[in-house]
């Protein structure tokens, strides 16, 4: 085979991949000459969802996706700007609906996708596709000679008479003022359910994209409805926070933004804004059980007192907990408590470290063992043994057999009841936390409780309080003779 033949075959393969894979399509048709196409873990994950949706669409199966990522991470580029053109190239008789908080926003997405079709790169992939010159406005354009079209409008605009095989709702909230208005949030939800979702064709793809602003937004309501009503569409929810211990570098998009950029964003937004806009885990302002306003952050472990510390574990040990759309975490919090110097009854809570993981049981057990060895023999091991995690104690005893004694906090009541003793400690400003990379995830969950998606780290604190304060109902492993 000659070099020219090899080059020809390579280009042919690239075109085939660009037709079938959305990430490759974006790379092949990238229009911004001044900025390279940059791929992050969230880019790959969103594009994989798109490929999955298209494959199921071909098979006659409808799909529903929620994508929540921080601002400036390219979600609109991946979905709203490029997917309509790609989708209509594959299905030139399909209908696309683009919606967002305003018509101007969605018209910009629509215009980009329309213009993408006329580029040489796109024409190499789909030479039979072109825009009808007589129907080519920014808000409504059609495929020449076919039934396919793209229609865009604001979420509160008129969708009467429109139908969609691909429906995209991108950034349904304009800003903080709109997010804090209960009336505005209800208006958006009503528009989503009564107007947007009713436009679906018998087989369709729905993408809801957002940077989250409030617990009671469209995504929050989708989550609630899926729990309340088994007939509600089953959305696959992908939440990608800016900061996470699961990322190798602790940040979502190091390929584009530096750690200092993320830290500057967090410092600018404050804890409430960070929880929603960066972590996509919004908290209830002024309504959360555990006040995050008075937490004392420390830069170094040298600030921490010489007291007994516990590694408290909450195990995501069942298949149901690990395999749901937004899987539960196994978390272990390294904490200690003491009576505040100069007082007789005022507790202080000191938190040195948090480890979180989403792993299958064998990998999880190895990681727990490794963490216990790294903590050293003077750190006690504890686990909550409540009615909804009654076998967690025995699981942890088995994992650490021969290495550590496991203490069990047998607790009664629901999660809110068990966390209630922590409330005055937070309110008094007696919570001390190391300002480490895991802090952003931790503060988001604490602030959202009891309305957040996860509560494993709160459970750690509840069990830690019970063990450290030696409250009635606490049974230690020593007393059981283990």
Closest listed residue to residue 308, CA positions, set 246, 376, 390: 376
In a domain, 102, yes or no: yes
Is residue 151 within 8 Å of 195, Cβ to Cβ? no
Look at the chain and report how many structural domains it folds into.
Answer: 2
Rounded Cα gap, residues 407 and 395, in angstroms:
12
In a domain, 273, yes or no: no
In a domain, 331, yes or no: yes
In a domain, 249, yes or no: no
Q: Are residues 97 and 222 in the same domain?
A: yes
Helix 3-20 to helix 22-29 angle (10° resolution) is: 120
Per-residue pLDDT of the chain (482 residues; tens, 9 = 90+): 676 655 656 788 899 999 999 999 999 999 887 888 999 999 999 999 999 999 999 999 999 999 999 999 999 999 999 999 999 999 999 999 999 999 899 999 999 999 999 999 999 999 999 999 999 999 999 999 999 999 999 988 777 777 899 999 999 998 887 888 888 999 999 999 999 999 999 999 999 999 999 989 999 999 999 989 999 999 999 999 999 988 999 999 999 999 999 988 888 887 778 889 999 988 776 557 888 889 999 999 999 999 999 999 998 754 444 444 456 889 999 999 999 998 888 899 999 999 999 988 899 999 999 999 999 999 999 987 766 566 788 888 899 998 888 998 877 777 887 888 898 899 889 999 999 989 988 998 998 888 787 889 999 999 999 898 864 333 333 322 22
Q: Are residues 192 and 294 in the same domain?
A: no
CATH number at residue 402: 3.30.420.240
In a domain, 150, yes or no: yes
Strand pairing of 63-68 and 236-239? parallel
Q: Which of 239, 270, 292 is the last residue of a domain?
A: 239
Q: Which of 239, 269, 304 is the last residue of a domain?
A: 239
In a domain, 250, yes or no: no
Q: Which of 214, 239, 264 is the last residue of a domain?
A: 239
CATH number at residue 224: 3.40.50.300
User: Domain containing 196: what range?
Assistant: 3-239
């Amino acid at each position: 085979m000659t070099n020219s033949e090899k080059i020809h075959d390579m280009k042919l393969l690239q075109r085939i991949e660009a037709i079938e894979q959305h990430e490759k399509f974006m790379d092949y048709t990238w229009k911004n000459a001044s900025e390279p196409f940059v791929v992050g873990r969230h880019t790959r994950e969103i594009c994989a969802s798109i490929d999955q949706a298209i494959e199921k669409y071909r098979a006659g199966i409808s799909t529903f996706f929620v994508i929540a990522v921080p601002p400036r991470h390219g979600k609109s580029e991946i979905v709203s700007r490029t997917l309509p053109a790609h989708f209509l190239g594959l299905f030139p008789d399909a209908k696309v609906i683009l919606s967002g908080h305003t018509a101007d926003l969605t018209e910009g997405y629509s215009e980009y996708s329309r213009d993408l079709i006329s580029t040489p790169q796109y024409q190499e992939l789909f030479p039979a596709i072109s825009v009808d010159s007589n129907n080519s406005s920014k808000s409504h354009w059609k495929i020449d000679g076919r039934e396919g079209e793209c229609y865009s409008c604001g979420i509160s605009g008129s969708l009467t008479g429109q139908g969609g095989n691909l429906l995209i709702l991108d950034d349904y909230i304009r800003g903080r003022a709109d997010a804090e208005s209960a009336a505005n949030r209800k208006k958006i939800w009503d528009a989503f359910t009564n107007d947007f979702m009713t436009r679906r064709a018998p087989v369709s793809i729905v993408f809801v994209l957002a940077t989250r602003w409030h617990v009671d937004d469209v995504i929050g309501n989708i989550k609630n409805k899926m729990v309340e009503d088994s007939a509600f569409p089953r959305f696959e929810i992908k939440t990608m926070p800016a900061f996470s211990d699961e990322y190798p570098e602790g940040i979502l998009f190091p390929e584009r933004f530096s750690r200092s950029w993320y830290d500057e964003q967090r410092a600018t937004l404050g804890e409430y804004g960070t929880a929603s806009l960066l972590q996509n885990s919004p908290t209830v302002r002024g309504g959360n059980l555990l006040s995050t306003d008075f937490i004392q952050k420390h830069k170094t472990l040298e600030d921490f007192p010489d007291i007994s510390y516990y590694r408290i574990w909450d195990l995501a040990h069942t298949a149901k907990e690990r395999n749901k759309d937004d899987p539960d975490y196994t978390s272990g919090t390294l904490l200690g408590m003491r009576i505040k110097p100069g007082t007789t009854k005022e507790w202080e809570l000191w938190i040195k470290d948090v480890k979180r993981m989403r792993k299958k049981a064998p990998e999880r057990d190895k990681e727990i063992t490794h963490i216990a060895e790294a903590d050293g023999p003077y750190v006690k091991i504890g686990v909550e043994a409540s009615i909804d995690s009654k076998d967690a104690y025995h699981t942890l005893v088995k994992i650490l057999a021969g290495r550590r004694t496991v203490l069990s906090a047998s607790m009664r009541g629901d999660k809110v009841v068990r966390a209630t003793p922590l409330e005055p400690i937070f309110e008094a400003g007696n919570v001390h936390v190391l300002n480490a990379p895991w802090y952003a995830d931790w503060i988001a969950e604490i602030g959202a409780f009891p309305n957040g998606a996860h509560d494993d780290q709160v459970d750690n604190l509840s069990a830690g309080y019970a063990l450290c304060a030696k409250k009635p109902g606490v049974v230690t492993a020593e007393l059981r003779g283990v």
